Amino acid sequence: MATIATAAWSIPGKVADRFAQEGSGLNRYASVFDGVEINTTFYRRHKASTFARWAGSVPDSFRFAVKLPKEITHTRAMKDIAEPFKTFLADIAHLGEKRGPLLCQLPPSLTFDADALETAFQTMRNADDGPIVIEVRHETWASAEALDLLKRYAIDRVLADPAPVWSAEDFEHPSKYLRLHGKPKIYSSSYTEEEIRSYSKLLTPDGWCVFDNTASGAAIENALTMLEMR
């Protein structure tokens, strides 16, 4: 069954009564949702014990999608990533079987460079064979060469909204990972019920839909709406 989630697990007061009333924020979030996207790994490292604690506080069926550190995607721009990627995998290893996809979100400035990116993807695949999804934001990725490279390394494209590169029409098959940032105001604007229903129809049985419009608290409300449509 598809995973409907939000970026982080903050629960706004206006819908607090929809969740378990006791336990940590993650405990309460996991009483309703079966997955979450961890964004804080982009900004800083967490102790291995933190991931172990998170994994131990949710049901067996719960999954964590984890965002790659900015050192890999932004600072190093996907070059010479072997050591930081190895460190990242070691940090999150305590999620165990509850680890979901790794999210690789590239900066808007990172153009498609086939040679450099093949090296990066090979490095990643040599170290990890789990699901990896990629969100790109430079128009040079809109090429057959880019699609072929991603397919070769079994890296799935993210369908994002707003969509800087790949829109829904650019997917021959439904995307396995939707990231809805909100529009017109990114990270804040709420989606209408009609929009949520439309995105719900794009979900694959094993896919993820992550609401990232968290700044206004809309993410949880929108995710609850989609959950009710299942």
Per-residue model confidence as pLDDT tens digits over 123-149: 999 999 999 999 999 999 999 999 999
Please give the share of the chain, as a percent, with pLDDT higher than 90. Answer: 93
The tokens describing 143, both together, are 């090429």
Burial of 230 (0-12, 13-18, 19+ CB in 10 A): exposed
Let me know: does 219 contact 213? Beta carbons within 8 Å.
yes
Quick one: pLDDT band at residue 46, thresholds 50, 70, 90?
A: very high
Q: How far apart are CA 112 and CA 110, in angstroms?
A: 7
Q: How far apart are CA 158 and CA 134, in angstroms?
A: 6
pLDDT, the chain, mean: 96
Q: What is the pLDDT of residue 174?
A: 86
Give the type of residue at 69: P
- Full set of structural domains in the chain with CATH: 3-228 (3.20.20.410)
pTM over 0.85: yes
Length of the chain: 230
Q: What is the pLDDT of residue 37?
A: 98
Let me know: does 4 contact 223? Beta carbons within 8 Å.
yes
Q: How large is the angle between the packed helices 114-127 and 82-92, nearest 10 degrees?
A: 40
Please give the share of the chain, as a percent, with pLDDT higher than 70. Answer: 100
Q: Which of 226, 218, 228 is nearest to 10 (CA)?
A: 218
Q: How far apart are CA 184 and CA 85, in angstroms?
A: 34
Summarised one tens digit per residue, pLDDT across range 142-199 is 999 999 999 999 999 999 999 999 998 898 888 999 999 999 999 999 999 999 999 9
Let me know: does 26 contact 59? Beta carbons within 8 Å.
no
